Amino acid sequence: MTQNIYDTTEFFEGYSQLPRSLAGFEGAPEWPAMQAILPPLTNTRVADLGCGFGWFCRWAGEQRASEILGLDVSENMLARAKEMTSQSNIEYLRADLEELSLQPDSYDIVYSSLTFHYLANLDSLLANVYQALKPGGWLVFSAEHPIFTAPSNPGWISSSQKRTVWPVDQYLVEGQRKTDWFATGVIKQHRTLSTYLNMLITHGFNLKHLNEWKPDSEQIRLQPELAQELERPMFFIAAAQRL
Amino acid sequence: MTQNIYDTTEFFEGYSQLPRSLAGFEGAPEWPAMQAILPPLTNTRVADLGCGFGWFCRWAGEQRASEILGLDVSENMLARAKEMTSQSNIEYLRADLEELSLQPDSYDIVYSSLTFHYLANLDSLLANVYQALKPGGWLVFSAEHPIFTAPSNPGWISSSQKRTVWPVDQYLVEGQRKTDWFATGVIKQHRTLSTYLNMLITHGFNLKHLNEWKPDSEQIRLQPELAQELERPMFFIAAAQRL
């Protein structure tokens, strides 16, 4: 079972105060890039893996998706999601994504935001997602970029030239990374970009788009601190299709 | 026209002494990974973009490729390639790869080793390569990894924790990088991995495999200094197919 850090009080209280938790897409600067590669949602059946507070599920409802399933391991997050949701075609279920078994040939779109880097057994999840999609269906997901997850000491450093750099090491040493983020010992899985993409390809997906997210100039104008995100990618977004 | 640094005396003399120049594949630790994703070459028509001293062309001849075309911008390298080649089905031609025009539907395999990161106009080259391949044909190439090309100061640094790290900055700022490598002011083009892959996808290629190269344990045992290559990838290798 995946570490359920979201249900520890310390982590949940911190995480709940993040812009993306309070304001949803308004606080998630990568959302416009993700939205841009999503297919139209009207009359689609959608699953959201790691739905959190349900921001995407409610947005999918507004886009007139016909049925929306939000899955998450965190009881706290699902409870908050349900409180904020009034649409009747959205269902939230607690699930361990590493042991997921979605119905075959059922979904038009499987979506997942910043969840896959927590899963050790991503391979079996992707196998399940592939068969759960209808032919022509889409998997659109984001995850922390391997440049961001790799370092043994993830944090900006000032090099001797007085530039601020991101200290990459262990990029090709895949596996668990422990970081302190709202709580100590948050466990992530570091995988290279090629491992993510080859997993998709091996399961039969056709890679249609990859985005190593960066802020655009308008976002930097409004939030100057985002300029630092040009130095190294924090997230990547991928869109892949079942043929 | 691409900078032809290979024909400056200083650069050529240095480059000629590299293990990969002297010993070919024996001195190129990424070759086994590249060889592993190449389709069988027997009876294929092959083009090698940036053929250098012709190591791959001669190997393709040994694999019984039927016709092999080696292209390079460097007269020095082509002259050396011709000296070392006796097979009659290998032709070497001088060409600016940014203005290449290969015959349509003609090649089974287009190969390129560590060349694309020198080309500013890669997009038009890939368009030409796509139409030059027969349906089902393959493009297999390596390039310097964007983690390697990104930094404003590419060189290992010791962080405060006494670890040696690779100082990534400007990853998302694409464009020219000048480095000093055998000569001053060697010009490379930094592109993100997503830019490389989306270019392939946009031109119609189907990505079949991506490898962010790392040495295996046997290579590290024989050449312990290769262990540092686990910290950050120097090369990536991609295989893509025309459908």
Cβ distance B42 to B109 under 8 Å? no
B201 to chain A, closest Cα gap in Å: 7
A175: which chain B residues are within 8 Å (Cβ-Cβ)? none
User: Cβ of A163 and B173 within 8 Å?
Assistant: no
Chain B nearest-CA distance from A156, in A, is: 10
A216, closest residue in chain B (CA to CA): B172
C-beta separation of A208 from A239 below 8 A: yes
User: For B134-149, how does the pLDDT look when each residue is reduced to its tens digit (9 = 90+)?
Assistant: 999 999 999 999 999 9
Q: Is B147's Cβ below 8 Å from some Cβ in A?
A: yes
Q: Do A166 and B169 touch (CB under 8 A)?
A: yes
In which residue are the tokens 């970081």 written?
A179
Say if the Cβ atoms of A210 and B198 lie within 8 Å: yes
Contact between chains at A172 and B206 (C-beta distance less than 8 A): no
Q: What is the pLDDT of residues A29-67, one digit of tens each?
A: 999 999 999 999 999 999 999 999 999 999 999 999 999
H or E element in which residue B238 lies:
strand B235-241
CB A85 within 8 A of CB A62: no
Judged against a pLDDT cut of 70, whether residue A191 lies above it is answered with yes
Residue B72 resides in a domain: no
Task: Provide the pLDDT for residue A159.
Answer: 64
Give the residue from B231, B241, B243 with the most A CB atoms within 10 Å of its CB, the best one to mutate: B231
**What is the pLDDT, as a whole number, of residue A158?**
83
Q: Which of A9-18, A87-96, A173-182, B232-241 has the lowest mean pLDDT?
A: A9-18
In residues, how long is chain A?
243
Q: Residue range B3-18: average pLDDT?
A: 84
For residue A25, is pLDDT > 90? Answer: no
pLDDT by residue (tens digit) across B151-210? 999 999 986 666 799 999 999 999 999 988 888 888 999 999 999 999 999 999 999 999
Q: Is B82 on the interface with A (CB under 8 A)?
A: no
Task: For A124-156, write each residue's pLDDT tens digit.
Answer: 999 999 999 999 999 999 999 999 999 999 999
Q: Is ipTM beyond 0.90? A: yes
For residue B157, being part of any structural domain is answered with yes
Contact A194 B212 (CB under 8 A): yes
A106, exposed or middle or buried, with CB in 10 Å at 0-12, 13-18, 19+?
Answer: middle
Q: How far is CA A49 from CA A14, A38, B227, in A?
A: 22, 15, 37
pLDDT > 70? residue B67: yes
Q: What is the pLDDT of residue A163?
A: 79
Name the residue in chain B with its Cα closest to that of A173: B230
Residue B235 in domain? yes
Using the predicted structure, report yes or no on whether residue B127 has a pLDDT greater than 90.
yes
Q: Is B165 in Cβ contact with A163 (below 8 Å)? A: no
What is the percentage of chain B residues whose pLDDT exceeds 90? 82
Boundaries of domain holding A210: 96-149+158-241
| pLDDT-derived band at A1, boundaries 50, 70, 90 | low
Residue A139, domain member (yes or no): yes
Using a pLDDT cut of 70, give the percent of chain A over it.
Answer: 98
Mapped onto helix, strand or coil, the DSSP state of residue B49 is strand
What is the arithmetic mean of pLDDT over A187-201?
A: 97
Contacting residues for A79 by C-beta, under 8 A, at least 6 apart:
none
The verdict on residue B33 lying in a domain is no
CB nearest to A165's CB, from B168, B194, B212: B168
Contacting A residues, span 159-178, partner chain B, CB-CB under 8 Å: 159-161, 163-173
Task: List, as one string, the DSSP characters of B163-185.
Answer: -EEEEE--TTS-EEEEEEESEEE
Q: Which residues contact A119 (CB under 8 A, 6 or more apart)?
A: A2, A97, A98, A125, A189
Chain A residue with CA closest to B158: the answer is A159
pLDDT of residue B24: 84
Sign for the pseudo-dihedral over CA of A94, A112, A131, A64? positive
Exposure letters B54-74 (e unless 16+ CB within 10 A, then b): bbbbbbbbebebebbbbbbbb
CB atoms within 10 A of CB B186: 17
B187: CATH: 3.40.50.150
In a domain, A29, yes or no: no
Instruction: Report yes or no: A202 at the B interface, CB cutoff 8 Å.
Output: no
A49 exposure class (CB count in 10 Å sphere: 0-12, 13-18, 19+): buried
Total domain count for chain B?
1
Contacts of B168 in chain A (CB under 8 A): 147, 165-168, 231-232
Instruction: State the Rg of chain A over Cα.
Output: 18
Q: Are B74 and B54 in contact (CB under 8 A)?
A: no
Task: Say how many C-beta atoms besides its own lie within 10 A of residue A214's C-beta.
Answer: 24
Q: How high is the mean pLDDT of chain A?
A: 94
Query: Is residue A112 included in any domain, yes or no?
Result: yes
d(CA A27, CA A31): 9
Chain A positions in Cβ-Cβ contact with residue B145 (cut-off 8 Å): none
Q: What is the pLDDT of residues A205-220, one digit of tens each?
A: 999 999 999 999 999 9
Give the rounded percent of residues in chain B with a pLDDT score beyond 70: 98
Distance between CA atoms of residues A194 and B196, nearest Å: 13
Per residue in A150-185, pLDDT (tens digit) is: 999 999 998 666 679 999 999 999 999 998 888 888
Per-residue pLDDT tens over the stretch B20-66: 888 888 889 999 999 999 999 999 999 999 999 999 999 999 999 99
Inter-chain Cβ pairs, chain A and chain B, closer than 8 A = 125
Cβ–Cβ of B170/A231 closer than 8 Å? yes
* A229 found inside a domain: yes
Kind of pairing between the strands at A133-144 and A235-241:
antiparallel
- Return the closest-CA partner of residue B151 out of A225, A174, A168: A168
* Confidence label for B68 from pLDDT (cuts 50, 70 and 90): very high
